[in-house]
Chain A
Amino acid sequence: GAVVSQHPSWVICKSGTSVKIECRSLDFQATTMFWYRQFPKQSLMLMATSNEGSKATYEQGVEKDKFLINHASLTLSTLTVTSAHPEDSSFYICSAPGRVSGDTQYFGPGTRLTVL
């Protein structure tokens, strides 16, 4: 089946630094990818839709200058958390849709970000 990978799986950084998280579709192309964040013991909240070749679409309340998304190719999307602060600490998960509209999403394993 389709596989989505994320790198790194976890990262610890100091407040004020920027962190880049990569999401790759390993055996299929994805013109669209999605970024979610999950707080402990809570559900996944959609942050933005990453579109290959165009700007990302952000959900209401998500700061686009804070969470920079770049869909560099048909197999890679990156999320950069700029000037990270402790409140940005969370579990970030990406996904890519299956080939058929309405099909399942394939989720990456997630990246645990801890900002000190």
Chain B
Amino acid sequence: GNSVTQMEGPVTLSEEAFLTINCTYTATGYPSLFWYVQYPGEGLQLLLKATKADDKGSNKGFEATYRKETTSFHLEKGSVQVSDSAVYFCALSDGSYDKVIFGPGTSLSVIP
């Protein structure tokens, strides 16, 4: 079945450091891929998405590229801020059913 694997962390970075959170997936067909973010005490928010191979999703300085050949969707940001501290979930959606399968989440702490 469909599944998502991502580095589990926790990840601790200094402000302005470069961020990479790896995500790989297993799926039949051509899923849509997402990154969701959950800030402390808040609900899930969509951060970015990509719906087909080679698409690049981007938002708030974060970006991720849908790589079909490596079945990956790694999240990157060039310079993190303290306000980026949150849990990040990689996810995929099977278009035929629309349900979302989440990875285990990666906790990010950015220190000043």
Binding site for B on A (CB under 8 A): 32, 34, 41-46, 49, 93, 95, 97, 101-105, 107-110
CB distance from A102 to the nearest CB of B (A): 4
Query: Roughly how many angstroms separate A104 CA and B33 CA in the complex, as a whole number?
Result: 9
Cβ of B89 and Cβ of A43 under 8 Å apart?
yes
Cβ of B44 and Cβ of A41 under 8 Å apart?
no
Tell yes or no: B101 within 8 A of A by CB.
yes
Query: Roughly how many angstroms separate A103 CA and B97 CA in the complex, as a whole number?
Result: 11
> Which of B44, B95, B101, B104 contacts A101 (CB under 8 A)?
B95
CB distance from A97 to the nearest CB of B (A): 4
Cβ of A49 and Cβ of B95 under 8 Å apart?
no
Q: A101-B96, A104-B49 are in contact. Are A42 and B105 (CB under 8 A)?
A: yes
CB distance from B7 to the nearest CB of A (A): 13
Cβ of B98 and Cβ of A102 under 8 Å apart?
yes
A residues within 8 A CB of B89?
43-44
